[in-house]
């Protein structure tokens, strides 16, 4: 339970970073932190007490493995994260090129 | 000095890189080809191969590396990887279903087993290695544009 | 080929088109156009076929890789799926036609079509999938492609809007993922039908409530419901016009509305509280969106605020939960995709010819651009709800349903929002198309052929869209979709029955 709460704390930390920071790069770092918190939580969901890694092997018995499905899914979600973060960083660099700053308080020509 | 620095790192780094890059790629290929019998697979192996190219780029500098490995090649390879993966999936229709494992599965724990899984791993590794390298190159080239303007 | 094999085609065709396009785009100038339009046309054809398949075979379940369900990834084709597929692929095909001429202004046309097809893959995937994690993956494919498309112009405003959109939407996806993780932890399955079964067996848990809130936040962000709408008025106007039409017309519907409806009605199960939250948020977006729209002078931004408002109607209708309300909601979803894409395409046509988006700089364009002007008139009357056009019928159904359900307050606000919509589109027509021709607009010309073609086709659909309510047509198209929603968690039983039949 404590571990779950720590994950939640990490998630909130990331969201706080996204909402509160002014630097674009720090916002992206916040996104990465909270994304990893979700991934970590997913892995923890699949954990069993004293479970071994879910690799099919010739010698070892296949009893008491941790749930392999979350691990595969987390891999997918990490890949998705890589794609969107790479795009965000590219956009951030372009913004720096155009505006000459990373400070979002100075990048507000649009008012939504 | 500045000129030389621009073209990459010192001689020691370049030499070590030249010696190790082959091994890194080999290790990546090993991870890919044994993806169905041990931990690893197309994604992990592809990342390792992409890292070896990035390693080259860091040691030798952008210009030198891009002369040998044009980044058009990366995007072409990436598309080929994706199409290959899709093609393997569509070939499953020969057995009646999308993504069907239509090749005989063989004996477990052998290199040639598990049907289409090794082929999928190869396709994924193309996609991942070319894709990650292309991302890296794109970010690096973007930075070049900014520097030019200043 | 069995009928069931049509289902994976909706993912295969656009994906193959996208990567083939990125491989051969440089060969000749017409190659990207040909690949993009051909893929979109094939998809449209398949989606019409899918309606027929659903009519003859009922609900179909496809298991990817012939894995035993519910362990493998399932794809489900039922009435709602077929309805959404037709909507999405029809609009996408029209937009692809329009882009042939419009995208000449941009240099990277090949990349545009690749991203366009990837976005289409994501949307079709979200619609056909029966697996909740797969839904997240396709959701992200569509979103990531759309961030890149919003930033396509790589000018100051585009980049700023894209960054804002990408950050907010990524946060939304994270909430969705967290919700999926919690559901997996609760039910140990990812198949939506199986999950619905498990949830029904376990009964109401507090965790389910938390999951619902997470989904409302995450998918509401994608659908631009009002407290989460801040990205939309920036992102939609900044994209190139075909993409604005795509985003407003179908992206927020397939990613937001469809996913939300599928999860809430068919997986978690609708409760009275959830439905009142959805109705409240819908009405709030309806009213706030239209009030914000009235004061805008940037044409595309005005249209973007109207998207928020109209999506509110859809949510109000679907949230009512009565069969008539659901019918009105999904019918409005279809109508809104048609007329809002048409309006965005018209604004793109003005930008193409006159080079401005500011209403104050336009005027008297009707004489110079008769096709754009008259199609825009039709679309404006549709969105405002003038009788013979399609928008009128769906709004009427929603309002009647609200009155029948004793929700007089919501019905009242729906009428008010409709009147205000009329007012704001009268403003558009007055400033842009009627009145005196401004200096400097003397030499403009009507847009090229393909742009005219797609606008005319869409306006014809606006005109005859009301015909879908004729009972025989309604039975094969709208009713099958609303039946699936009205079915609620019994969806699981039907899908699982199909599964056991195929094994």
* pLDDT 10s digits, C189-237: 888 888 888 888 887 678 888 899 999 999 999 888 888 888 888 888 8
Instruction: Provide DSSP, A74-88.
Output: HHHHHHHHHHHHHHH
Beta-carbon separation of B89 and C16 below 8 A? no
**C291 is a domain residue:** yes
Mutate: best of B135, B139, B144, B150, partner A, most A CBs <10 A: B135
Quickly state the pLDDT bin for C482 (edges 50, 70, 90).
confident
Quickly state the pLDDT bin for C32 (edges 50, 70, 90).
confident
Contacts of B132 in chain A (CB under 8 A): 82
pTM summary value = 0.92
How many domains does one find in chain C? 1
Number of Cβ within 10 Å of residue A110's Cβ equals: 17
Mean pLDDT of C45-70: 84
Quickly state the pLDDT bin for B1 (edges 50, 70, 90).
very low
Quickly state the pLDDT bin for C268 (edges 50, 70, 90).
confident
Distances (CA, A) of C342 to B16, C241, C422, C426: 61, 10, 17, 17
Q: In the block, which residue shows the tokens 């404006």?
A: C380
Q: What SS3 state is found at C258?
A: helix
Query: Any idea where the domains of chain A sit in the sequence?
Result: 2-48+63-99
Sort C501 into a burial class: Cβ within 10 Å, 0-12 / 13-18 / 19+: exposed
**C15 is a domain residue:** no
Beta-carbon separation of C171 and A31 below 8 A? yes
* pLDDT 10s digits, C161-186: 899 899 999 999 999 999 999 999 88
Q: Which residues of A59-69 are buried (b: 16+ CB within 10 A; e: fewer)?
A: eeeeeebbbeb
Instruction: Provide DSSP, chain B.
Output: -HHHHHT-S-HHHHHHHHHHHHHHHHHHHHHHHTTTTSS--HHHHHHHHHHHHHHHHHHH-HHHHHHHS-HHHHHHHHHHHHHHHHHHHHHGGGGTSTT---S---STTSSS-STTHHHHHHHHHHHHHHHHHHHHHHHHHHHHHHHHH-
**C392 is a domain residue:** yes
List the pLDDT tens digit at each of the 112 positions of chain A: 888 899 899 999 999 999 888 889 999 999 999 999 999 999 888 888 777 777 777 776 667 788 888 888 998 899 899 889 989 998 888 888 888 888 888 777 665 5
What's domain A2-48+63-99's architecture?
Orthogonal Bundle (1.10)
Give which of C105, C110, C175 is closest to C136, Cα–Cα.
Answer: C175
Residues 83-122 of B with CB under 8 A from C: 83, 86, 89-90, 92-93, 95-101
Quickly state the pLDDT bin for B146 (edges 50, 70, 90).
low
**C185 is a domain residue:** no
Average pLDDT of chain A is: 85
pLDDT at C119 over 70: yes
* pLDDT at res. A99: 82
Sort C459 into a burial class: Cβ within 10 Å, 0-12 / 13-18 / 19+: buried
* pLDDT at res. B2: 47
CB distance from A31 to chain C under 8 Å?
yes
Do the beta carbons of residue C317 and residue C326 sit within 8 Å? yes
Distances (CA, A) of C125 to B84, C119, C138, C224, C330: 20, 10, 6, 20, 19
Beta-carbon separation of C5 and B98 below 8 A? yes
| Range in B89-103, C40-54, C305-319 the model is least confident about | B89-103
Q: Which residue has the higher pLDDT, B82 or B105?
A: B82
Give which of C307, C295, C294, C305 is closest to C339, Cα–Cα.
Answer: C307
What is the rounded CA–CA span in Å between residue B125 and residue B42? 4
Beta-carbon separation of A90 and B39 below 8 A? no
pLDDT at C137 over 90: yes
Mutate: best of C22, C77, C148, partner B, most B CBs <10 A: C22
Q: Which residue has the higher pLDDT, C315 or C354?
A: C315
Do the beta carbons of residue C252 and residue C143 sit within 8 Å? no
Do the beta carbons of residue C146 and residue C206 sit within 8 Å? no
* pLDDT 10s digits, C387-430: 888 888 889 999 999 999 888 889 999 999 999 999 998 888 88
Mean pLDDT of B121-145: 83
Quickly state the pLDDT bin for C359 (edges 50, 70, 90).
confident
What is the rounded CA–CA span in Å between residue A15 and residue A9? 10
Share of chain C above pLDDT 90, in %: 26
What is the residue range of C455's domain?
273-469
* pLDDT at res. B35: 80
Query: Any idea where the domains of chain B sit in the sequence?
Result: 2-149
| Residue C62 phi, psi dihedral angles, 5° rounding | -115, 135
**C204 is a domain residue:** no
What is the rounded CA–CA span in Å between residue C378 and residue A100? 45
Mean pLDDT of C138-162: 88
């Amino acid at each position: 339970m404590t571990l779950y709460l720590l994950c939640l704390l990490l998630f909130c930390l990331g969201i706080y970073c996204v909402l509160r920071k002014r630097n674009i790069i720090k916002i992206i770092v916040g996104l990465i932190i909270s994304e990893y918190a979700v991934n970590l939580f997913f892995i923890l969901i699949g954990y069993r007490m004293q479970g071994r890694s879910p690799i099919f092997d010739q010698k070892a018995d296949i009893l008491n493995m941790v749930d392999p499905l979350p691990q595969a899914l987390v891999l997918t979600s990490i890949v998705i994260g890589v794609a969107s973060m790479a795009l965000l960083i590219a956009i951030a660099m372009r913004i720096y090129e155009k505006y000459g700053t990373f400070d979002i308080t100075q990048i507000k020509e649009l008012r939504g | 000095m500045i000129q030389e620095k621009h073209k990459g790192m010192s001689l020691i780094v370049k030499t070590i890189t030249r010696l190790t890059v082959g091994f890194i790629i080999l290790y990546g290929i090993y991870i890919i080809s044994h993806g169905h019998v041990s931990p690893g697979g197309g994604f992990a192996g592809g990342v390792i191969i992409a890292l070896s190219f990035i390693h080259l780029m860091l040691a030798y500098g952008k210009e030198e590396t891009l002369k040998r490995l044009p980044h058009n090649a990366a995007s072409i390879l990436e598309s080929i990887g994706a199409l290959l993966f899709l093609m393997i999936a569509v070939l499953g229709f020969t057995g009646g279903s999308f993504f069907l494992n239509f090749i005989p599965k063989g004996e477990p724990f052998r290199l040639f087993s598990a049907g289409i899984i090794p082929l999928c791993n190869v396709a994924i590794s193309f996609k991942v290695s070319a894709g990650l390298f292309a991302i890296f190159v794109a970010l690096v080239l973007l930075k070049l544009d900014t520097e030019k303007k200043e | 080929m069995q009928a069931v094999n049509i289902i994976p085609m909706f993912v295969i065709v656009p994906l193959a088109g996208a990567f083939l396009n990125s491989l051969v785009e440089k060969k000749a100038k017409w190659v990207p156009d040909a690949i993009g339009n051909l893929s979109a046309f094939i998809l449209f054809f398949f989606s019409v076929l899918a309606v027929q398949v659903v009519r003859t075979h009922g609900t179909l379940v496809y298991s990817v890789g012939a894995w035993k369900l519910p362990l493998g990834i399932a794809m489900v084709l039922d009435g709602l799926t077929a309805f959404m597929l037709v909507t999405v692929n029809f609009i996408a095909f029209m937009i692809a036609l329009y882009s042939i001429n419009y995208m000449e202004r941009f240099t990277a046309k090949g990349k545009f079509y690749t991203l366009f097809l990837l976005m289409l893959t994501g949307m079709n995937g979200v619609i056909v999938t029966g697996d909740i994690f797969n839904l997240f993956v396709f959701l992200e494919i569509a979103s990531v492609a759309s961030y890149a498309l919003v930033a396509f112009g790589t000018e100051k405003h585009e980049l700023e809007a894209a960054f804002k959109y990408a950050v907010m939407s990524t946060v939304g996806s994270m909430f969705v993922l967290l919700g999926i993780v919690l559901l997996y932890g609760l039910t140990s399955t990812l198949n939506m039908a199986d999950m619905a079964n498990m949830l029904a067996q376990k009964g109401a848990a507090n965790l389910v409530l938390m999951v619902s809130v997470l989904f409302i936040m995450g998918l509401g962000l994608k659908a631009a419901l009002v407290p989460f709408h801040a990205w939309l008025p920036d992102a939609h106007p900044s994209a190139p016009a075909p993409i604005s039409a795509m985003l407003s017309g179908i992206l927020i519907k397939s990613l937001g509305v469809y996913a939300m409806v599928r999860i809430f009605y068919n997986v978690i199960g609708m409760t009275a509280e959830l439905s009142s939250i959805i109705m409240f948020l819908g009405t709030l977006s309806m009213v706030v969106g239209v009030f914000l729209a009235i004061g805008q002078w940037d044409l595309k931004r005005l249209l973007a605020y109207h998207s928020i408002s109209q999506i509110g109607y859809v949510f109000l209708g679907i949230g009512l939960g009565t069969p008539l309300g659901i019918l009105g909601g999904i019918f409005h979803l279809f109508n809104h995709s048609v007329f809002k894409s048409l309006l965005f395409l018209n604004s793109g046509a003005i930008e193409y010819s006159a080079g401005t988006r500011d209403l104050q700089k336009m005027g008297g364009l009707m004489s110079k651009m008769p096709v754009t002007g008259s199609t825009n008139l039709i679309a404006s009357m549709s969105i405002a709800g003038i009788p013979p056009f399609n928008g009128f019928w769906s709004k009427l159904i929603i309002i009647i349903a609200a009155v029948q359900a004793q929700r007089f307050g919501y019905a009242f606000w729906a009428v008010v929002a409709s009147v205000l919509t009329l007012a704001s589109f009268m403003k558009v027509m007055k400033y842009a198309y009627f009145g005196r021709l401004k200096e400097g607009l003397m030499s403009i010309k009507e847009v090229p052929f393909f742009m005219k073609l797609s606008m005319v086709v869409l306006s014809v659909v606006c005109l005859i869209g009301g015909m879908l309510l004729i009972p025989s047509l309604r039975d094969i198209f709208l009713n099958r979709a609303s039946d699936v929603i009205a079915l609620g968690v019994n969806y699981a039983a039907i899908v699982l029955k199909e599964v056991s039949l195929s094994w």
